[in-house]
Amino acid sequence: MKKFLSLLCSFGLLGTSISVSSNVISCGSKDNAKELTYQDNKKDSDVVSYLSNFENATIFTNEKEDFLPLSVVENKLGYEYTDTHSSAMGDQDLDFGTLEGSLINFTKGSDEEGKSTFGDFDSIFKELTDLKTTNTADGENSNITIHVGTLKGKKNEQSFTINIYKLSFTIDKDHNVVGDVLKDIIYKKNISLV
């Protein structure tokens, strides 16, 4: 979540309290999400290896109420990776609603406009190379689009799902969210541990 909050701070969103009286709207169904495709010579085990390394990524676990690397024990998930609600993150300033799966913090991701929040995770999936953070002016407002990843899976299962979200919202000059927060799962991929 630190990377997510840091991203918002870079846009000046959390420098002062944000007034969030808007709705979080899911525009599309996860059934409309496209399947992530691997870069050349990449496979499920590369995803597992990447997410298991603390230097690459950490995943919020409700069980531990903390960000930890992917836990795999004997080719099974070591934790329950459930849906994430902003209230579980202890973030009182920004309500992003509920995300399907546990929020992934990509340690090497960038908070800068025009850069990827996924860091070098885009070396595994082709589609991630084009997903950049945007912050465009619209009069005195700013239209912001960010992309985040989640991981969903049950403890002791031998697979999990990666979801890639697109979150879009507008803030005014006083850091108030204007209108609705739009939220879509745009990509997904089932990953096997065996």
SS3 of 44, please? Answer: helix
**Span 31-73, pLDDT tens digits:** 789 999 999 999 999 999 999 999 999 999 877 788 999 999 9
64: left (phi over 0), alpha (psi -120 to 50) or beta: alpha
Smallest CA-to-CA distance from 171 within 139, 136, 143 is with 143
The domain spans of the chain are 2-192
Instruction: Write the DSSP string, 110-157.
Output: --STTS-TTGGGGGTBGGGGG---EEEEETTEEEEEEEEEEEEB-TT-
DSSP lists the bridge partners of residue 137 as: 142
The pTM of this model reads: 0.85
**Span 99-154, pLDDT tens digits:** 999 999 999 887 678 888 899 999 999 999 999 989 999 899 999 998 999 999 99
